[in-house]
Each structure stands twice: as structure tokens, then as C-alpha cells.
């Protein structure tokens, strides 16, 4: 049933959309079915879309920008602009803001999330983007580093192969598009459960969202997150009964976290971020 709905959404022109934010775990299929990228393309208006690609996370913005431009052109997009911003001051360029004003879809590529934030956070361009997401006049997608920046608190880096501990994760401030979540990407692929747990211990009023490669958490206007793609999305909900020793230990000491609610979700699963409940499949 959900499979059918999803397919029909992918294939037909979408209805007028409000506020879809596609948070992609990196390494999305760019060659074969391209399901996630095609969904972004369709939701942005299909051949009528006016797309902006923000490649600023990458150290090779030209190459990665061209790659995505070709993909969306290949799908039939007529108007695509790569916002190859190399200096913060370019975020004030009225040209980009005018283009963004007209855009129906914005795609943020992978790379380094700190680089992306350093270039665009708190610029007029980003304010414009945030406003358009909020009013529902644009579809925003971000993959890998472009996904990491979605929350207010952002995982900037970290390790794996250790017991959860505060020093296992480096936190920074993200773009705050979906402030209530902390996103981690390439999640099971790079064994990032421990670092996301460590992040949640420090920010227990957020929801951890770990997204596997070629997998997308689609945040919809109605507060529903729907999963699409090949892997899983791990939801870590600290819940009302959380206890953590986080404030009472050293940075390398192992963390306690009691009473987490965890959901492993795959294609077609849906989670209500307001009620923090998974929507049972019928």
C-alpha cells in the first residue's frame, strides 16, 4: 500500500507541496534507479522545476555541481543553477537571492559540513532559503554533509569503535532547518551509532536521526517523516524517562543513557515527529 503510494508519487507530477525536506544519508544512487534524486526532482516540479545546487560543502564544488546538474538535466530539468559560493560575502550577492526566490528545489551536496556552514550559515542567502522552506515554497534536499547541517546541533565529526563517550563526537552549530533533530549520515555504513548516542547524551531534548547510505528521511509538512531507499533510518528518542550521567563524568568516561526509545525504519515506514510514534503499517 505504502509502496504503491510511494511509486505513484515518484512517477506522477506531485501535488502542490509544502515544506518537504529530504535528508539523505549520502551515497544516493546516481546511476540506476536514482529513486531519491528523482523524487527530489519530481517534488520540485519535474520539468517545470527551477533548481539550485549548493556544492559549498565540497572542496571540488565545480565537479560535484556539474555532476548533479547533469543528473537533473538528464531527468528533464530545464533550469538549474549551481550556487558555487567560495566566499561568505557571495551569500550577500542579490543575484543568488533572486534566483533562490524563484527556485522550487534546492539541493545541498556532500563534502564537509563545517565548510558548508562556514560559507553559508547566517548569510542573507541562507535566511532566504530558511524562509522559503518555512513558508513551503521550496523543496530542500541535502545529502551527507548537506544532511548533517539540517539540525540546530550538528555532528561535525567523530569516531567509532568505542563506548559512547563525550569525546567521541564533535558538535557544532548547523543550519537549523529542522532544529529538533540531530542528523548523522552514512549511519550504519560507518558504524556511527555510538557517536549519535554520544551527541544525544549532550542534547537530550533533540531526536537522533541516523540515516544510512542511499536512504532518505523525508520530512513532510504534516510532521511525518517517511523513509525511502535502500537502507534504514535509526530514530533515537531520548524520551521523557531519560536518565544520563552526561553532566557528571569526564569527557572520555563511558556514558549511561537509560530509557531510550529506538526505532529502526526502512522504506515506506513513517514516524510522527510531533507525537514521537511510529505509524503502524496497516
- Candidate residues 2, 66, 189, 202; the one interacting with a copy of itself per rule CB under 8 A: 189
* d(C-alpha 161, C-alpha 68), whole Å: 33
**Is 186 in the active site?**
yes
* d(C-alpha 127, C-alpha 150), whole Å: 14
Cβ 35 to a copy of itself shortest distance, Å: 14
Nearer to a copy of itself, 125 or 257 (CB): 257
Candidate segments 78-86, 129-137, 176-184, 255-263, binder of a copy of itself by CB under 8 A = 255-263
Candidate segments 10-18, 54-62, 64-72, 182-190, binder of a copy of itself by CB under 8 A = 182-190
Task: Find cell 567521541 and name the residue.
Answer: 168
- Candidate residues 121, 178, 188, 219; the one interacting with a copy of itself per rule CB under 8 A: 188
163 counts as binding a copy of itself under rule CB under 8 A:
yes
Number of residues that this document lists for the chain: 282
The three-class DSSP label of residue 108 is strand
Cβ 253 to a copy of itself shortest distance, Å: 8
Cell of 70: 547533469
* d(C-alpha 126, C-alpha 130), whole Å: 6
**Is 38 in the active site?**
no
Please give the span between the terminal C-alpha atoms of the chain, in angstroms, as a whole number: 8
Give DSSP secondary structure letters for 42-94: HHTTGGG-EEEEE-TTSS-HHHHHHHHHHHHHHHT--EEEE----SGGGGG-H
Cell of 228: 525511502
Candidate segments 44-52, 92-100, 104-112, 230-238, binder of a copy of itself by CB under 8 A = 230-238
- Candidate residues 129, 154, 178, 193; the one interacting with a copy of itself per rule CB under 8 A: 193
Candidate segments 55-63, 70-78, 131-139, 159-167, binder of a copy of itself by CB under 8 A = 159-167
178 counts as binding a copy of itself under rule CB under 8 A:
no
Give DSSP secondary structure letters for 176-241: -SSTTEEEEESTTTTT-HHHHHHHHHH-TTSEEEEE-TTEEEEE-TTSEEEEEESSEEEEEE--TT
Given 144, 153, 198, 246, the catalytic residue:
144
Cβ 131 to a copy of itself shortest distance, Å: 35
13 counts as binding a copy of itself under rule CB under 8 A:
no
Given 213, 226, 246, 267, the catalytic residue:
213
**Is 167 in the active site?**
no
185 counts as binding a copy of itself under rule CB under 8 A:
no
Residues 25-64 that bind a copy of itself (CB under 8 A): none
* d(C-alpha 207, C-alpha 200), whole Å: 7
Q: What are the residue numbers of the active site?
A: 144, 186, 213
Binding site for a copy of itself (CB under 8 A): 160-164, 188-191, 193-194, 197, 212, 215, 230-232, 236, 243, 245, 253-267, 269, 278, 280-281
Amino acid at each position: 500500500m505504502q509502496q504503491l503510494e510511494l511509486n505513484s508519487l515518484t512517477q506522477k507530477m506531485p501535488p502542490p507541496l509544502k515544506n518537504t525536506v529530504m535528508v539523505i544519508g549520502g551515497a544516493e544512487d546516481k546511476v540506476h534507479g536514482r529513486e531519491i534524486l528523482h523524487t527530489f526532482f519530481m517534488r520540485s516540479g519535474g520539468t517545470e522545476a527551477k533548481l539550485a545546487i549548493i556544492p559549498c560543502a565540497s572542496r571540488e564544488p565545480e565537479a560535484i555541481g556539474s555532476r548533479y546538474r547533469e543528473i537533473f538535466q538528464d531527468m528533464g530539468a530545464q533550469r538549474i543553477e549551481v550556487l558555487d559560493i567560495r566566499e561568505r560575502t557571495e551569500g550577500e550577492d542579490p543575484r543568488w537571492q533572486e534566483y533562490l526566490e524563484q527556485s522550487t528545489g534546492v539541493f545541498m551536496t556532500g563534502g564537509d559540513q563545517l565548510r558548508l556552514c562556514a560559507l553559508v550559515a547566517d548569510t542573507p542567502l541562507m535566511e532566504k532559503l530558511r524562509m522559503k522552506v518555512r513558508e513551503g515554497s521550496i523543496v530542500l534536499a541535502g545529502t551527507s554533509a548537506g544532511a548533517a547541517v539540517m539540525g540546530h546541533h550538528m555532528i561535525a565529526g567523530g569516531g567509532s569503535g568505542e563506548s559512547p563517550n563525550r569525546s567521541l563526537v564533535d558538535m557544532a552549530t548547523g543550519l537549523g532547518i529542522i532544529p529538533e533533530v540531530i542528523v548523522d549520515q552514512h549511519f550504519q555504513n560507518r558504524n556511527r551509532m555510538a557517536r549519535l548516542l554520544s551527541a544525544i547524551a549532550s542534547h537530550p531534548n533533540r531526536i537522533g536521526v541516523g540515516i544510512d547510505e542511499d536512504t532518505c528521511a523525508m520530512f513532510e509538512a504534516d510532521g511525518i517523516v517517511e523513509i525511502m531507499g535502500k537502507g534504514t533510518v535509526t530514530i533515537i528518542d531520548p524520551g521523557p524517562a531519560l536518565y544520563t550521567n552526561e553532566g557528571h563524568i569526564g569527557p572520555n568516561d563511558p556514558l549511561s543513557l537509560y530509557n531510550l526509545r529506538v526505532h529502526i525504519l526502512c522504506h515506506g515506514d513513517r514516524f510522527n515527529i510531533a507525537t514521537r510514534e511510529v505509524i503502524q503499517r496497516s
